[in-house]
Amino acid sequence: QYRILSQLEELFEKMPLSDVTFNIRGRKFGAHKAILAMGSPVFAAMFTHPTKELLSGEVEVEDVDPDVFREVLRYMYTGSPQSTAIDVMAPGLLAAAEKYLLDELKTRCETHLIRKMSAKNCLDLLTLTTNHPAEHLKKFAIEYFRLYPSEVMKSNEWKKMKEGNPALLCDLQQIVFTAPTV
pLDDT in tens, 35-73: 999 999 999 999 998 888 888 989 999 999 999 999 999
Can you give the pLDDT at residue 87?
A: 92
CATH number given to 1-108: 3.30.710.10
Look at residue 182 in the predicted model and tell me its pLDDT: 59
Separation of alpha carbons 49 and 36, rounded Å: 14
- Tell me what percent of the residues of the chain surpass a pLDDT of 70: 99
The amino acid sitting at 18 is S
The predicted pLDDT at position 162 comes to 87
Task: Specify the range with the lowest mean pLDDT, choosing from 27-31, 100-104, 105-109, 131-135.
Answer: 131-135
Q: Are 158 and 152 in contact (CB under 8 A)?
A: yes
Q: What is the pTM of this model?
A: 0.86
- In degrees, rounded to 5, the angle at the alpha carbon of residue 180 between the alpha carbons of residues 116 and 139 is 20
**pLDDT given for residue 103 in this prediction:** 96
In this structure, whether the domain defined by 117-182 belongs to CATH 3.40.1190.20 is answered with no
Where in the chain are all domains bearing CATH 1.25.40.420? 117-182
In the chain, list all ranges with CATH 3.30.710.10. 1-108
CA distances from residue 167 to 100, 148, 171, 172 in whole angstroms, order as listed: 30, 21, 6, 9
